[in-house]
Structure formats: structure tokens, C-alpha cells
Structure 1
Amino acid sequence: MPRKSNKATSVEGTIFALPQVLDLKAATPLTEKLMALRGQDLVIDASKVERLGTQCVQILISAAATWKDEMAAFTIAEPSDAFTSGLQVLGLTPQAIIEKEVAQ
């Protein structure tokens, strides 16, 4: 499989770097990229995120649940201040996404 510029393989799994802007326009490409990585241990690099929208948070929550159901690793690494702040507005943390500790 050819390597793309936004991912690399590591000991912990495939690293997927989130784009700077995760708004409504980014939702469909984010879904498509995550689906292409399905089944692999995945490390989400959130270090460059400058803006985080609710739709993309929902996609990340869904992806984390899918990875958990498929017994593959899904982690969020180096969340930027903007990523963490965007989650806090929604009452979430990076760990809550991974652990699926959101109100159903």
C-alpha cells in the first residue's frame, strides 16, 4: 500500500494527522480517510487542529466505537489546545472519545 503524506506507520499503529480545520466541509473527507484505514491500529495526531466542529467530533466518536468493536487500537495523540478546547465546549475530552463515555 503506498504511503500518503498524512499517515505513517509506527510501532503503535498507523498515524493519521488531522487537518487544521475540522468543519462541515472536512466531515466527508475525514469519514472517507478513516474508512480507508479501518482494521488497522490507529493513532490520531491532533496536534495541528486549529478549529473543531461538532460533525467531525461525531465522526471521531463513531470511529473510536468502530475500532473498539473491531478490537483495533484507536488513540488520540498530542491534541492541540484548539482540539482540546473544542471538545471541552461539548463536555468531552480526548479520552472520553476513545472510551466512548458520552451520553447516549
Structure 2
Amino acid sequence: MADTDILQAGDGATQIALPDRLDTAAAPKLLADLAPHRGRDICLDFANVTMLGTLCLQVLLNARHHWDADGQAVSIENLIPPVEKALADFGATPQSLISAGAS
């Protein structure tokens, strides 16, 4: 998958299918694709992700921080073991990317 795909998830969250390579080159587009969805719940779909780099991880962590501050939820799905390992290599966990939203 070359680009990020946006779909409406069944639970009302906007589902964002992430591209296969979340490397340095993908970071500006990832940031631009996430920004318009601030203010509503999102679900990040990692089904196609085969590579997660530092800069895209930073974008995802920053998004989670902003969504959390806004009281909006960030959830993730389809996280595969190689991406979980990449997160662990960076000292992060899948829970680092999740925000529960408003309590």
C-alpha cells in the first residue's frame, strides 16, 4: 500500500490504514494524513505495516499525546509481531500508542 487509506470504522472512530513502510520518507505524509482527524476518535490499522522507523513512531506518539489532551481516543488494530518488536526495540509498547479518550 503506497498511501494511507481512511475509512469510517464501525464504532464511529475513523479507521486509518497505515502504509507498509513507516520510514523517514513517510513521516511528513503520515503527519499530514493524521492532522485533519484531530478532534475525533481514530483507529490505526497496522495490517500492512512491515517497517516502523523512529520518525514515524515519533509522529504516532505525538498524535496520541494530542488526541489524549483533546479527550479523543486512539486505538490500534492488526499489530503484527515484527512491528511489536520494533516498538520494543525503541523502548515503547503498543499501549504507548493508545489513548482512551474522554473518561
Structure 1 unmatched ranges of 5 or more? 100-104
Give 3-state SS (helix, strand or coil) of 1:83's partner.
helix
What letter corresponds to residue 95 of structure 1 in structure 2?
Q
- Find the counterpart in structure 2 of residue 23 from structure 1: 23
For 2:5, give the aligned amino acid: N
Higher strand fraction: Structure 1 or Structure 2? 2
Given that 2:73 and 2:98 are in contact with CA atoms closer than 8 Å, whether structure 1 keeps it comes out as: no
**1:1-104 to 2 correspondences below 5 Å:** 6-10=5-9, 11-98=11-98
Percent identity reads 33
Mapped to 2, the partners of 1:94 and 1:12 lie a distance apart of 21
Answer whether contact 1:17 1:46 (CA < 8 A) is retained.
Answer: yes
User: Deviation at 1:33?
Assistant: 0.3
TM-score (norm 2): 0.85
Aligned-partner residue type, residue 51 of structure 2: R
The 1-side partners of 2:89 and 2:7 are apart by 31
User: 1:42–1:74: 8 Å Cα contact kept in structure 2?
Assistant: yes
**Mind listing any 5+ residue stretches in structure 2 that lack a counterpart?**
none
2:48 is paired with a residue of what secondary structure?
A: coil
Local SS of the residue matching 2:98: helix
For this pair of structures, how many residues does the alignment match?
Answer: 95
